[in-house]
Amino acid sequence: MSTIEEFLFYSNQTNSVEELCSLFQKSLEIMGFNKYRYGFLTEHKSVGKPANHGLQYNFPDDWMKHYIESGYLDVDPVKNQLSVSRTPFRWDKIDYFLKLNEKEKKVLEEAKDAGLIKGVGLAIHTGPGEVAGFGIASDFKDLEVTDVMLQKINLLAFQFHHRYLSLLQVPEQVADRIVLTSREKDVLSWLASGKSSSVIGEILSISENTVNYHIKQCHKKLEANNRILLVTKAIRLGLIDLISPKFII
């Protein structure tokens, strides 16, 4: 079982934010990242929470104190990029997106001095105007951050965020209001196993277009705007079975 499979499976069994954060941190460490910060960049009305840039983190306390006292929240280029980005990005490549001024460059340089040497930023856009952000870092200067690694971190972060929200919510019978057909459940289960639409069509003996139609219907029913969110939400609500998780990158 891979890191992604294990986190997807076991995070859905966590009963507290502390337990979830511990599992998330251990999963990141396996990939060489030993620091993270997670927060709400905007108000999250879905759980009745205001914007909070540092909800959960294990960044060095000295750095966090310096960051706040220096007013870096307003000039941090990583945070600014998170507000508009839909895909994970490397901190050392951020100048590809933004023309950094001296203050912004200073934030990144001082972060390195604080042990946040290799970093990844990613944002999760869910619900009307709700944006959460992650800063994930490593003090290993020789760590190679590959595109595959970015995809894996993206999956971990998506699952963490949605499980975090579910732990904050007052229990509701959400799943009872969502009715999936048996074919939609089959398609989602195979999608959660990392299968493409064409492969799912071969497995279920239906056309790829029909598979995509079922996925589109599931998007509407679960109010999910991408496949990662669709799968993680279906699993979290218990709409599909994941006894033997096969989420493969």
Q: Are residues 79 and 51 in the same domain?
A: yes
CATH number at 103 reads 3.30.450.80
Q: Confirm whether 242 is domain-assigned.
A: no
Q: Confirm whether 152 is domain-assigned.
A: yes
Coil/strand/helix, residue 223: coil
Q: Are residues 144 and 221 in the same domain?
A: no
Domain boundary at 132, 147, 168, which?
A: 168
Return the amino acid letter for 208.
E
Instruction: Tally DSSP H helices, then E strands, for the chain.
Output: 10, 5
* DSSP label of 73: G
Q: Are residues 19 and 92 in the same domain?
A: yes
Residue 184 phi/psi, 5° resolution? -65, -40
Domain boundary at 168, 187, 217, which?
A: 168
Its pTM stands at 0.72
Q: What is the pLDDT of residue 175?
A: 55
Number of separate domains in the chain: 2
Q: Are residues 66 and 100 in the same domain?
A: yes
Q: Confirm whether 244 is domain-assigned.
A: no
| Among 47-51, 55-59, 171-175, 190-194, the range of highest mean pLDDT | 55-59
Q: Confirm whether 249 is domain-assigned.
A: no
Q: How far is CA 66 from the centre of its chain?
A: 27
Q: Are residues 153 and 226 in the same domain?
A: no
Alpha helix (H) ranges present in 3-132? Answer: 3-11, 17-30, 61-69, 77-82, 102-113
Write out the residue range of the structural domain in which residue 211 sits. 175-236
Instruction: State pLDDT tens for residues 82-120.
Output: 988 889 999 999 988 788 999 999 999 999 999 999 999
- Asked if residue 126 lies in contact with residue 228, where contact means CB atoms within 8 angstroms, the answer is no
* Residue 159 in tokens: 């699952």
What sign results for the dihedral spanned by CA atoms 52, 141, 92, 87?
Answer: negative
* DSSP label of 171: P
Q: Are residues 107 and 208 in the same domain?
A: no
